[in-house]
């Protein structure tokens, strides 16, 4: 790209995929010379140190007895407007439609810099879950329509947005990504022996433990696999369905085989010692955790739903019908019992990630899109 831009980025600063992608995108853009200004209520988790050309602006939310709920969307809009004007922002890129696109639109109206361009990236549940609620549907549609540019993380999500919101705005697919230089298989015998001291196979799952992720399916699949393969299960993350999973493990008497690790920063190390990754979700608009596993040469078994079909293709992983517990377990047993098959799948998965989903492939696509919108 020929021009250097000042870009404002707003995302949820948590463990969710939209925040991870937004933060990594900002870091990738900064490396290429762009000036990045993150605007959020908290420092994004992946901004774990000081980076050149990256700045953070905290949104202070007013606490006042009159307001039963803090007016974050308005506080965000006010801060966005301030940063647009005083930092001379040219592109305001918001991740996750609600409320960020609405706040961005308001910020454009109150700013003296009228040529600011608002780009919204749709990540999944902002369309399939939150935005589809009757009370949010009109404002979600409005947020899409008033954006100067809109991207989606998969063709599936793009097409579903067209269908359910009947929007006229053109949406461009730009896939999620990983830095394959960071997400790569690293030998770690010490960690492997910690979880599998007797050489057990290691199966992993990463999510926010919400109903959509079907943690119950993960536990049931693992229990089936245990009948044929000596294995342990690493459950990485946390959320509302964790207690449900813990109860299931007690009832199945497999607590000694299931490790609840909570939220972890050292994901690469954990994936590197994994032999198989499970993602039996009800729906995935893309499947970022599966992408990270594939980049670390871990075979993935996932539900044949949503955007996962665009990520996982033949010989790079395995898509099984949604809620087909026995089918996923049988495929898991097959992979874990055949080292050649496991390595073949993992190596092919890595090659696919390097070719289509590496940060050096995707960031230029965003740069090109900025240039078109700008």
Give a yes or no: residue 54 inside a domain: yes
Give me 95's structure tokens.
């991740």
Q: What is the structure's pLDDT at 130?
A: 63
Q: What is the structure's pLDDT at 46?
A: 80
Q: How many CB atoms lie within 10 A of CB 232?
A: 21
Comparing CA positions, the residue from 276, 208, 272, 284 lying closest to residue 240 is 208
My answer on whether 199 and 303 are in the same domain is yes
My answer on whether 61 and 163 are in the same domain is yes
Least confident range from 120-129, 210-219, 365-374: namely 120-129
Number of domains in the chain: 2
My answer on whether 301 and 343 are in the same domain is yes
Residue 5 has pLDDT above 60, yes or no: yes
pLDDT digits (tens, 9 = 90+) for 134-177: 778 889 999 999 999 999 999 999 999 999 899 989 999 999 99
Give a yes or no: residue 330 inside a domain: yes
Q: What is the structure's pLDDT at 158?
A: 96
Q: What is the structure's pLDDT at 71?
A: 86
Q: What is the structure's pLDDT at 49?
A: 82
Of the pLDDT bands very low, low, confident and very high (cuts 50, 70, 90), residue 14 is confident
My answer on whether 171 and 224 are in the same domain is no
pLDDT digits (tens, 9 = 90+) for 51-73: 999 999 999 887 767 677 778 99
State which residues form the domain around 219: 189-356
Is pTM, for the whole model, over 0.85?
yes
Q: What is the structure's pLDDT at 66?
A: 67
My answer on whether 194 and 342 are in the same domain is yes
Q: What is the structure's pLDDT at 69?
A: 72
For residues 79-100, average pLDDT: 95
Instruction: State percent of the chain over pLDDT 90.
Output: 82
Give a yes or no: residue 239 inside a domain: yes
Give a yes or no: residue 343 inside a domain: yes
pLDDT digits (tens, 9 = 90+) for 284-316: 999 999 999 999 999 999 999 999 999 999 999
My answer on whether 193 and 160 are in the same domain is no
Give a yes or no: residue 184 inside a domain: no
My answer on whether 17 and 166 are in the same domain is yes
Q: What is the structure's pLDDT at 258?
A: 97
My answer on whether 209 and 224 are in the same domain is yes
Give a yes or no: residue 1 inside a domain: no
pLDDT digits (tens, 9 = 90+) for 168-209: 899 999 999 999 999 999 999 999 999 999 999 999 999 999
Give a yes or no: residue 183 inside a domain: no
My answer on whether 145 and 163 are in the same domain is yes
Task: Give CA separation, 237 vs 204, 208, 263, 269, in Å.
Answer: 11, 6, 4, 15
For residues 343-359, average pLDDT: 98
Residue 100 has pLDDT above 90, yes or no: yes
**CATH number for 36:** 3.40.50.2000
Instruction: State percent of the chain over pLDDT 70.
Output: 97
My answer on whether 367 and 349 are in the same domain is no
Q: What is the structure's pLDDT at 136?
A: 82
My answer on whether 21 and 109 are in the same domain is yes
Q: What is the structure's pLDDT at 131?
A: 52
Give a yes or no: residue 122 inside a domain: yes
My answer on whether 52 and 199 are in the same domain is no
């Amino acid at each position: 790209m020929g021009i250097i831009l000042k870009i404002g980025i707003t995302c949820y600063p948590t463990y969710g995929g939209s925040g991870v992608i937004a933060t990594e995108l900002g870091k990738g853009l900064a490396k290429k010379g762009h000036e990045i200004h993150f605007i959020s209520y908290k420092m994004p988790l992946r901004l774990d140190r000081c980076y050149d050309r990256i700045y953070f602006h905290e949104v202070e939310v007013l606490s006042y007895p009159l307001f039963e709920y803090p007016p974050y969307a308005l506080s965000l809009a006010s801060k966005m407007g301030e940063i647009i004007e005083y930092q001379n922002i040219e592109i305001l890129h918001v991740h996750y439609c609600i409320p960020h696109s609405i706040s961005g639109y308001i910020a454009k109206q109150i700013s003296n810099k009228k040529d600011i361009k608002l780009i919204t990236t749709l990540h999944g549940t902002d369309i399939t879950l939150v935005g589809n609620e009757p009370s949010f549907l009109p404002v979600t549609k409005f947020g899409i329509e008033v954006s100067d540019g809109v991207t989606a993380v998969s063709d599936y999500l793009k097409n579903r947005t067209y269908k359910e919101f009947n929007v006229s705005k053109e949406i461009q697919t730009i896939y999620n990504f990983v830095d394959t230089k960071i997400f790569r298989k690293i030998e770690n015998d010490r960690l492997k022996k910690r979880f599998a001291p007797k050489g057990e196979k290691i199966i992993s799952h990463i999510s926010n433990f919400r109903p959509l992720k079907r943690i119950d399916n993960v536990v049931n699949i693992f229990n089936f696999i245990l009948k044929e393969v000596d294995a342990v299960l690493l459950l990485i993350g946390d959320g509302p369905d964790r207690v449900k999973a813990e109860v299931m493990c007690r009832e199945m008497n497999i607590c000694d085989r299931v490790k609840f690790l909570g939220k972890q920063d050292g994901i690469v190390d954990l994936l590197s010692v994994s032999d198989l990754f499970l993602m039996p979700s009800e729906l995935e608009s893309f499947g970022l955790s599966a992408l990270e596993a594939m980049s670390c040469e871990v075979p993935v078994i996932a539900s044949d739903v949503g955007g996962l079909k665009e990520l996982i293709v033949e010989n790079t992983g395995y898509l099984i019908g949604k809620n087909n517990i026995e089918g996923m377990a049988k495929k898991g047993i097959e992979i874990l019992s055949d080292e050649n098959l496991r390595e073949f799948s993992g190596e092919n998965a890595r090659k696919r990630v390097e070719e289509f989903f590496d940060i050096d492939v995707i960031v230029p696509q965003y740069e090109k899109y900025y240039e078109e919108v700008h």
